[in-house]
Chains A and B, each alone.
Chain A
């Protein structure tokens, strides 16, 4: 009995919260919030994941070393997605070099979209 025993009541409360959040995220998907739809959907997903990790997976009661490993995993995931997107998203921001003959009647093929 080395593991921390979480009261069953906690599990039921977390379960209720997860069901409510699922209902909310599904309902919000049918409301037009513009770009906020994606933000809300992902924010709710992160909340649900945190509830599962902290209570169902006992990380709230885990020793520091385990928590460091957990945080590291998700930190590396954030780096993977963040740095990849910093490349893909910013590519159109960089102006295409026009070369020496910008005023030429026949621009180089590289400038064509």
Chain B
């Protein structure tokens, strides 16, 4: 009974009500996130419709291999996060910590690939709007071969950096949450009766995965790769 009293806050009738309330609250937050990213997706869709050749040329400036690798990394991290929730529900502290650590490492790997390979390459190629956007040499030739106005390709790169940047920011926040949960799990703060924080963090992490599931085809794939 004492365990029950500690796990359920006094405003809830029981653990089920507490769990449903937490899930509902988290989903209300995620709904605002859907519409937050939705505004960017809408803007991207409209400008892609208006300046299609430039957006296809812009898409060709990205490397599909890195996009696909990062997609697989995020899917793996979603699996390990789901397994972490599973371990928490069953009260397996060691496997909970293992899966949280795996999720954390995969999240960091995603951010590392974005920074060290993709964004660094874009910077070297002078493709970062606001900092050094001035494509030259083969890059410029590739854009001109598609009859794409360079300033609209810059617009694509603005969308690319804002969308992947805000997504990466969400990843950084997720890494912070995972680190906190890992420390809490190490201190034995979770039990089958008290694992809502793990599950809610899982919802957040999966949501960030879903955003990337849409960013990957929109930015990398539908630019006429053939």
Contact = CB atoms under 8 A, between A and B. Distances in A.
Interface stretch (A28-36, A95-103, A104-112): A28-36
B221 interface: yes
Interface stretch (B128-136, B158-166, B206-214): B206-214
A69 B46 contact: no
A52 B220 CA distance: 21
Given A41-B217, A77-B34, A89 B89 contact: no
B207 to A, nearest CB: 8
Contacts of A14: 79
Central interface residue in A1, A8, A18, A70, by most chain B CB within 10 Å: A1
Contact of A73 (B16, B30, B195, B209): B30
B98 interface: no
Given A26-B221, A37-B224, A73-B31, A88 B49 contact: yes
Nearest to A41: B217
A23 B64 CA distance: 12
Interface stretch (B67-75, B106-114, B145-153, B168-176): B67-75
Please classify the interface of chain A as helix (H, G, I), strand (E, B), loop, or mixed, using the class held by over half of its residues: helix
B130 to A, nearest CB: 25
A77 to B, nearest CB: 4
Contacts of A11: 79, 82-83, 86
Interface string A11-22: 110110011001
Given A26-B64, A30-B226, A32-B226, A77 B206 contact: no
Give chain A's interface residue range (CB within 8 Å of chain B).
Answer: 35 or more
Interface string A57-96: 1100011011001101110110011001100110000000
B140 to A, nearest CB: 24
Contact of B35 (A25, A31, A76): A76
Interface residues of B, number: 59
Given A3-B199, A29-B222, A52-B210, A81 B45 contact: yes
Contacts of A22: 68, 71-72, 75, 216
B139 interface: no
29 contacts: A1-B15, A1-B192, A1-B195, A3-B85, A5-B86, A8-B83, A11-B83, A15-B78, A15-B79, A29-B217, A41-B222, A49-B213, A49-B214, A52-B78, A55-B82, A63-B20, A65-B24, A73-B35, A76-B34, A76-B35, A76-B38, A77-B38, A80-B38, A81-B38, A81-B41, A81-B42, A81-B45, A85-B49, A89-B49
